[in-house]
Structure 1
Amino acid sequence: MARQKGLIKLEGAIGDLSFYKSGGEYYARTKGGVDADRIKNDPAFVRTRENGSEFGRAGKASKLLRNALRQLMVHAADNRVSNRLTTQMLKVIQADETNARGERTVSDGNPALLKGFEFNAGAQLAGTIYVPFATAVDRVTGALEVSLPALVPTTDLAMVQDATHLRFGALGATVDFEGESFSTKMAVSDFVEIDSVEHEAQSLEVQIDAASPSPIFLAFSIEFFQMVNGEAYPLKSGALNAMAIVAVDLP
């Protein structure tokens, strides 16, 4: 790596030289890297191929799960959720004790590791609601539920500037990672005014396919709004909303 000098600074490639900027400085280096065909066939790169195969599988599974939860996630996810979920999905795959390295799968891994995954790192569910809530999953009937206790918004929830109301959401999904398909149902609460009055306990119930042979995921979210003349306006495009996977049930 060599530092560029002179008045004219270059970025890009010329022949076997690459020019780039890093940390405010301009550098030049020769093109390197291993030939793609060698990586595909050379026994020395067998681990690279195995890792690449499983990473690709994790990315595919991550996208499928994001699509399954999209109805809720679109209002409560940061711009790095794709990378973060893929990283966690790779851990799910690496927990597979059945298949050989490079052939491990989500289904034979441990999807339960996805429980607690936060979709908005800047506004986590764990730091938004301070009272314990319960979840229930009945695989036989397909009934899913998030049960909230009586709560006082100003003390039991994180305060969001300019928010006057909030809404709870729950989404249940069965996800077939091998068949690349999913089925979902969602429920949302009425708008809850953010005040110092105790609001009665409530439950969000969703009904998914009964006796599903696939992993079941239950996600829970809190969205904040400003109510003006009876119209609810999302705050900061949902940047302060929280969502997490709160239950995972495996067949």
Structure 2
Amino acid sequence: MAFQKGNIKLEGNIGDLNFYKRGDEYHVRQKASKKSKNEISNLAARSKENAQEFGRVSSFAKNLRYAFHNATGQHYELFYESSNLNRLVKRLNLILKADEINERGKRNILPANLMLLKNFSFNKNSSLKDSLLLPVSIDYNKNQGNVSTTISNFNPEFHLDIPKETSSFMVHLAVFKINDQNMDFAVQYTHSELLSVHQPLPSINLTCQIDELIETESMLLAFGISLYKDTAGYPVPQLSPNLNCFDMIAFFQ
């Protein structure tokens, strides 16, 4: 849209330009070209394809977030961040587009492509890689039916990049088991006790019991850290600003 700056004040059409007045200002815009029936038909088909694919992405995102919320209970608010859903849908849409098997409109979130969810942060304001300056070791023991994470030789004062007023923290582990056929989720969740930021630890270990993965199942692991500060002698979650992190860290198929 353009603005008229000259003294000539026009209203009406000249060629493919439309001159009009809005309030005390005069504007000009190009008239929209008419589309043929064939073009309209093609646009309708493309819109239908987009809607079908968006529906699959939205359904997957809804199921994942519901399973996560249901498993973590009251701890869910520790990691809640308003843009979470939009960012998750955006990432899942890219994963859907990675489907090279099905044609447009029928593309889906393929189990093998779920590895692209790795490093997704549930909280845009804080990611695990920027908060925890040590690697998290992961062990999936099929024989014992468990998944465990370990942080070794951990000194929180050196290995956590967190606000100075933080007095304690908690680590969290969630295991998302996914049915590749209907994309249903089963989530196992555990967390540590409150740990002092001033106390070095030989290791921190979290373990979730799971059934062995079968051929039609995949598994995502998410690991997080929640922060607390002392208020009137009690540890209170730091929710404003919310710098708690919870990220997807591994994928098994």
> Normalising to structure 1: TM-score of the pair?
0.77
* Shift of residue 228, structure 1, vs aligned partner: 4.8
Matches of residues 79-228 of structure 1 in structure 2 within 5 Å? 79-107=82-110, 110-138=113-141, 142-176=145-179, 178-195=181-198, 197-212=199-214, 213-228=216-231
Structure 2 CA distance for partners of 1:89 and 1:139, relative to 1, 3 Å? farther
* Shift of residue 181, structure 1, vs aligned partner: 2.5
Q: Which residue identity is paired with 2:178? A: V
CA separation in 2, counterparts of 1:48 and 1:140?
A: 48
Once the two structures are superposed, what CA deviation does each residue of 1:164-215 show, in whole Å capped at 9, x if it has no partner? 00000001121236525221111111211011x4212121100123234322
* Structure 1 residue 53 corresponds to structure 2 residue 55: no
CA separation in 2, counterparts of 1:51 and 1:136?
A: 39
CA separation in 2, counterparts of 1:74 and 1:109?
A: 30
Q: Which residue identity is paired with 1:117? A: F
Structure 2 CA distance for partners of 1:104 and 1:171, relative to 1, 3 Å? same
Q: Is the 8 A contact 2:136 2:151 kept in 1?
A: yes
Q: Who is 2:13 aligned against?
A: none
Kindly tell me the number of residue pairs found equivalent between the two proteins: 227
Q: Is the 8 A contact 2:78 2:239 kept in 1?
A: no
Q: CA RMSD in A?
A: 3.4
Matches of residues 72-83 of structure 1 in structure 2 within 5 Å? 73-83=76-86
CA separation in 2, counterparts of 1:80 and 1:142?
A: 35
> Normalising to structure 2: TM-score of the pair?
0.76
CA separation in 2, counterparts of 1:239 and 1:106?
A: 30
Q: Which residue identity is paired with 1:123? A: S
* Shift of residue 140, structure 1, vs aligned partner: 6.6
Deviates more, 1:170-179 or 1:145-154: 170-179
Q: Is the 8 A contact 1:94 1:109 kept in 2?
A: no
What 5-or-longer segments of structure 2 have no aligned partner? 4-26
Q: Is the 8 A contact 1:165 1:226 kept in 2?
A: yes
What 5-or-longer segments of structure 1 have no aligned partner? 4-26
Aligned-partner SS, 1:158: coil
Structure 2 CA distance for partners of 1:108 and 1:244, relative to 1, 3 Å? closer
Aligned-partner SS, 2:217: coil
Q: Who is 1:42 aligned against?
A: 41
